[in-house]
Structure 1
Amino acid sequence: MSTPPGTTGHARPAPRPGPRAATSATSATSAAPPPGGHMVVCGGDALAHRLAVELADRYGQRVVVLVPSLLHGHGPRIAALAADPQRTVEVVEAGEIDEAALAAAGVERAAALALTSEDDQANLHAALRARRLNPDLRLVVRVFNRRLGRRVEQLLDRAVLARHPGLSAAALEASTTVLSASATATPALVAAALGGRSHALHIDGRLLRVAELDPGARPEGTELAVLAAPPHPGADPADHLLPDPGTVGADRPRAVLELLGRAEPPPRPRRRPALAGLPLADLFTPRLRWALAALTALVLALTTASWRLTGRPPLHAAWLVVLDVLGIADPAEDAGPTGKTLQIASAVAGMLLMPFLIALALEALGTFRTATALRRPPRNLSGHVVLVGLGRVGSRVLDRLRELDVPVVCVDRDPTAAGVARARTHDVPVVIGDATQDGVLDAAKAGRARALLALTSDDGTNLETALAARESDPRLRVVLRLFDDDFAGDIYRALRDSYPHAETRSRSVSFLAAPAFASAMMGRQVLGAIAVGREVLLVAALDTTANPHLSGRTVARAHRPGAWRILALDLAHPDRRSPDLADPYTTTPELLWNPDPARVLADGDRVVVATTREGLSHLTTGRTPAVGRQRPPHRHPGRPG
């Protein structure tokens, strides 16, 4: 008998020899596994909590969450989901994701399993165990190391091919999906920091750019859809998303999705010669340059005087002056007053040369000692982005900012953080220190920055960093990574009221990544998340088969303002379709962008749509979406979890 919704079950792992038997077992009684066809989420972090909400509320699925602890992390919040009678969520507590724990969650009969832990090895180990228990299980694995993830993905798919030899490539791709939460959230975080700067998505080898256009401005490429327009006074703020194209003219500001040319692979960094990497600019500081210039001018003046007064040839006069400056010439006993005076002046110049050589040696010692250390921010730097926190998310954001050629200064208290070595590779200035302490943000030139991204894993640190930066520049654009919903909402309103002329954005990696994970569990593919103001839109690939909102309708009739809009139609045969349209370097184009509005969609077609979170769940489940004021209440997308 299954555990009723709202209760908590506990998995008792099988006893093992040695002292681990006592630590691996839980103290509660074992619960019967749930019936089949449900969704299993393994994890006790913010992504697991958000994913359970997404699956239960937006997709109407029965969810079993396998948490390591109900008392720590997001365990209490996940337990609160199970206690809500309006949600079909069950919780199983297990200290280790072994076969006993997976069996208690009903993996043998589940439709899909998501592994959301930040430990790549633990996720992959659990995925292999789950595949043995249920070869037909749809797996969604969170992996930061994408190269390792792809190889394990191929390994897991071989078990599916062994069971179903005739499986199509698209169906095989849906059986195992490897995702990175940080990579999924990075475009939205970067777009929030850069403001009106567009960010791009790679789909089918083409480049889709999201641009905010001023009134009267035209997009550079082919306009695919108007993603957002300013809402009318008194209207629901979400009604301005995906409006009817006929209601938005070019005389109004708007956010559009435009199609550009094919994506080019990023250029490989060229190896520089060994001498090209010498820090000559640091070796010859401005003061040493001025001293060297003055000394050179003095030697030239003495050479000219010797040439004019003694009548010697210019080169010979220069040679004698240099010898005198270096102090290796004999006294000019036979010379007249003029020659003796010149020799004294040259000796004085030689005395000036020695301090210069000593200063140059000291500068060289300090420069080469720090040549392999982290680069410091230049003194005259301005208009850059200050990135606080170089963890997994910060590393991805740093890569994206460098791809956009945006100047960055990084701040982290840990010199061994994951992104410090990456910052050194990009030759990006790094300040090691606590951003909440005095002088650290000043060293990062936050007062002259265009934006600040606070992406540490601590809400208090991110908030304190943002407040300290605002004291330097009240108009500074700030993007906060916050985990607590209520805290984020209160902070956003307080910052908005305190600094009405500055822009504040609160973003959550779990909030931005959860739709991609949920869609993959449902067998769909989310190609990207787009931050439009405080809202989030998704670009997804969907099959039209038996979908009442798509199949049998024309492209024009399939569009639903405020919910979704069709961007492209896949022309390839289902057996030859590319399994991953998000591959930035697809060689064979397959999509027909901006299809004819009169074209009728048939079963078996695959379309690419821009959709809201609610719209994607309605397209997946087939239910009729509620738009405008009838839309069910939901938390503000800017409130992260």
Structure 2
Amino acid sequence: MVVCGDDALAQRLAAELRDVYREQVTLVVPGTDGVGRPGRAAALASAVLTRVPRARARVPEGGAPAAVQEIRVLPETAPDDTVLAEAGLAGASALALVYENDETNIRTALAARRLNPRLRLVVRLYNRRLGEHLAQLLDQATPGVDPEELDTSTTVLSDADTAAPALAATAVAGTSKVVQADGLLLRAVEHAPPGRGVVPAPGLCTLALLSSTTGDPAGNEGAEGSGADGPRLLPDDREVAAATGRGTIALETVAHAGSPAPVRRLAAAPLTSIFSRRLWWSIGGMGAAVVALTLASTIALGDHPLHAAYMTLLDIFAINDPAVGASATRQILQILSGFAGLLLLPVLVAGLLEALGTFRAASSLGRVPRRMSGHVVLLGLGKVGTRVLAQLADLAIPVVCVERNPEARGIAVARRLRVPVIVGDITQEAVLETARVHRAQALLALTSSDTTNLEAALHARSDHPGLRVSLRLHDDDFASAVYRTLRAAHPHAVTRSRSVSHLAAPAFAGAMMGRQVLGAIPVERTVLLFSALDVAGHPQLEGRTIAEAFRPGAWRVIALDTAAPGERLPDLATTPRPRGRARDLVWDLHPGYVLRPQDRVVLAVTRRGLAELLGRQPRP
């Protein structure tokens, strides 16, 4: 695997390929910043090498990497043909281009496709429409190579798109260990050890049995295949029932437990949200005055109640004839009714003004419903915030957005989704109070400024210690320091500090492994992969039932793609599901269903199991 980049994402991606997928990696980073000084990417590469044994990590001057190396760094200034050839591109299986400059990534991708037409490309681009056209162009520019026979696919990803599911899951479930498939977010949930002979509720399925020493502070959890005391991946029901004193990890869907996001329509707006409480009290007082005058007229003058109410209303609206020559009681009642009419006039004006203000606020989406609670406060509607907003809207989670720039790219998305947006300074107390942060379930600080995110999170946490807070921080070390400090100050509250590069690296690594890899979830020192495979060509699956295709410790079928072969999403993890289209994956599978060659399934699989299914030999 070859990784080319100039920021923290390249370093994270190289570490992900080495630690999770056990791949040999060549990392190409700029050696200087353009003026002769050491570059930031080179310093990050040095950080990668410090975590690799000396015998297995060195910076060679040239030539092919040694067989024992896992990460090899080439500090070059520009990714030209010479650098790509030195990186071993001719014999590489995949190349990731994660430079911050889109033009550099496009130029290098065109050169790499020319040098190795059989190469699997993963390109980082911010312009998604340009990325779609580039992927089609590079897939077609493979002379002499049949795309049906070789996995020469080109995957164009954006770090904002790939980090959005994890950030959304952090707001809902408090964890970023999620996998996305067909627009659905899946998470691994740890359960306490069950009693003897009791099978815990597995959710979608039971993924793993934890080590027997997980709850022991002095215990040493084992690695994959470390024995009976280590974690057991993909156990069957008998193993789960027989395991006592060991916790389990189950696969569950990420969903909002509260009420769904309200659909805001002006025509269906309730009266309680149009008028304030003071105005309702004023209207109630006027109604009580009308009733009192009607009863007084009925008792004093002996009128019928309906006739008395009619005469009272005429007097209030000043359209009745003066009671000249009538009894003194009738004249007094008419004067009182006229006085009540004078009080009614300002109430009617106030009602019209409040209704007009409510409708204008609803049309501009800047008004937060008074009774809104259990929502997510999203700070920042830039590139990342916009993607997270769309993800939360798909999960039917109520959101209130705060953005300083009225021309931000996410404002139009919020209008289309009919989500309340408050335009103002995020660090101001009044802005967060207007967003009803005291009633929210989570706060997502996703602006481009680390100090702004930290200031807003500290203010919200100081006023509401139990609030779930998730920060977007660019520097990984700074994010770790903030996390440890906030956890120490508020041990009973959920705090997450995330960098986009840390969240995006797993998706880029999965794309480099091929479109069949959807993601990975760590289980102690092991890792469990999720893969989408066509049944055809795999004798371990074809013609077998769901129960027969399950191999404990290796793989397990967890979902079936019901879409027609020509209508399937090319990549279940990264391809956006068309809005309005029902999900094609079926998760509740009958054990007796027989897998056909035209089926596509989603499996939970270990590294060794995936290598066996794909016909590859895993690295030791």
Q: TM-score when scaled to structure 1?
A: 0.69
* Alignment match of 1:231 (pick from 202, 214, 218): 214
- Matches for 1:381-530 after TM superposition, within 5 Å: 381-523=372-514, 525-530=516-521
1:468-489 alpha-carbon deviations (Å, 9 max, x no partner):
3332233333333333333333
Counterpart of 1:352?
343
Q: CA deviation at 1:224?
A: 4.5
Compared CA separation, residues 488 and 208, structure 1 to 2 (3 A): closer
Give the Cα–Cα distance (whole angstroms) in 2 for the partners of residues 123 and 512 of structure 1: 20
Q: CA deviation at 1:238?
A: 7.5
Counterpart of 1:47?
9
Indicate conservation of the 8 Å contact 1:391/1:456, yes or no. Answer: yes
* Alignment match of 1:89 (pick from 69, 73, 78): 73
Q: CA deviation at 1:571?
A: 12
The DSSP-based 3-state class of the residue aligned with 2:448 is: coil
1:91-141 alpha-carbon deviations (Å, 9 max, x no partner):
3334xx899998998878865443335666775576456546654442212
Give the Cα–Cα distance (whole angstroms) in 1 for the partners of residues 184 and 360 of structure 2: 46
**2:43 pairs with 1:77:** yes
Counterpart of 2:150?
171
Counterpart of 1:185?
163
Deviating more after overlay: 58-67 vs 608-617: 608-617
Aligned partner of 1:51: which letter? L
The DSSP-based 3-state class of the residue aligned with 1:371 is: helix
Compared CA separation, residues 214 and 394, structure 1 to 2 (3 A): farther
Aligned partner of 1:93: which letter? T
Give the Cα–Cα distance (whole angstroms) in 1 for the partners of residues 609 and 32 of structure 2: 30
Give the Cα–Cα distance (whole angstroms) in 2 for the partners of residues 464 and 142 of structure 1: 31
Give the Cα–Cα distance (whole angstroms) in 2 for the partners of residues 473 and 587 of structure 1: 38
Q: CA deviation at 1:344?
A: 0.3
- Matches for 1:57-206 after TM superposition, within 5 Å: 58-65=22-29, 69=33, 74-78=40-44, 80=46, 85=58, 87-94=71-78, 112-117=94-99, 127=109, 131=113, 135-143=117-125, 149-160=131-142, 163-164=144-145, 166-168=146-148, 171=150, 174-195=152-173, 203=181
- Matches for 1:368-379 after TM superposition, within 5 Å: 368-379=359-370
Indicate conservation of the 8 Å contact 1:78/1:91, yes or no. Answer: no
Indicate conservation of the 8 Å contact 1:215/1:250, yes or no. Answer: yes
Q: CA deviation at 1:157?
A: 2.0
Q: CA deviation at 1:352?
A: 0.5
The DSSP-based 3-state class of the residue aligned with 1:608 is: strand
**2:248 pairs with 1:254:** yes
Give the Cα–Cα distance (whole angstroms) in 2 for the partners of residues 507 and 536 of structure 1: 20
The DSSP-based 3-state class of the residue aligned with 2:474 is: coil
Runs (5+) with no aligned partner, structure 2? 50-56, 60-70, 224-229, 255-259, 542-546, 593-599
Give the Cα–Cα distance (whole angstroms) in 2 for the partners of residues 410 and 150 of structure 1: 29
Q: CA deviation at 1:256?
A: 0.6
Indicate conservation of the 8 Å contact 2:560/2:602, yes or no. Answer: yes
Counterpart of 2:531?
540
Compared CA separation, residues 153 and 465, structure 1 to 2 (3 A): same
Give the Cα–Cα distance (whole angstroms) in 2 for the partners of residues 540 and 402 of structure 1: 26
The DSSP-based 3-state class of the residue aligned with 1:415 is: coil
1:567-614 alpha-carbon deviations (Å, 9 max, x no partner):
469999xx9996535476799879997999xxxxxxxx9983445899
Number of residue-to-residue matches in the alignment: 557
Instruction: Calculate the aligned-residue CA RMSD, in Å.
Output: 5.2
Q: CA deviation at 1:88?
A: 1.5
Q: CA deviation at 1:325?
A: 1.3
Aligned partner of 2:334: which letter? Q
Counterpart of 2:63?
none
Aligned partner of 2:351: which letter? L
Counterpart of 1:637?
none
1:411-452 alpha-carbon deviations (Å, 9 max, x no partner):
333333333333344343444444444444344343443333
1:205-226 alpha-carbon deviations (Å, 9 max, x no partner):
9986644445558436552522
Indicate conservation of the 8 Å contact 2:182/2:572, yes or no. Answer: yes
Indicate conservation of the 8 Å contact 1:226/1:257, yes or no. Answer: no
- Identical residues among aligned pairs (%): 47
Give the Cα–Cα distance (whole angstroms) in 2 for the partners of residues 244 and 270 of structure 1: 41
Give the Cα–Cα distance (whole angstroms) in 1 for the partners of residues 362 and 43 of structure 2: 48
Give the Cα–Cα distance (whole angstroms) in 2 for the partners of residues 213 and 481 of structure 1: 28
Give the Cα–Cα distance (whole angstroms) in 1 for the partners of residues 550 and 358 of structure 2: 67
The DSSP-based 3-state class of the residue aligned with 2:414 is: helix
Runs (5+) with no aligned partner, structure 1? 1-37, 261-266, 597-604, 626-641
The DSSP-based 3-state class of the residue aligned with 1:59 is: coil
1:282-340 alpha-carbon deviations (Å, 9 max, x no partner):
43211112211221232233234334444555554434322221223332112111221
Q: CA deviation at 1:400?
A: 2.9
Give the Cα–Cα distance (whole angstroms) in 2 for the partners of residues 590 and 81 of structure 1: 43
Q: CA deviation at 1:348?
A: 0.6
Q: TM-score when scaled to structure 2?
A: 0.71
Indicate conservation of the 8 Å contact 1:82/1:90, yes or no. Answer: no
Indicate conservation of the 8 Å contact 1:40/1:66, yes or no. Answer: no
The DSSP-based 3-state class of the residue aligned with 1:461 is: helix
Indicate conservation of the 8 Å contact 1:530/1:537, yes or no. Answer: yes
Indicate conservation of the 8 Å contact 1:228/1:255, yes or no. Answer: yes
Deviating more after overlay: 67-76 vs 339-348: 67-76
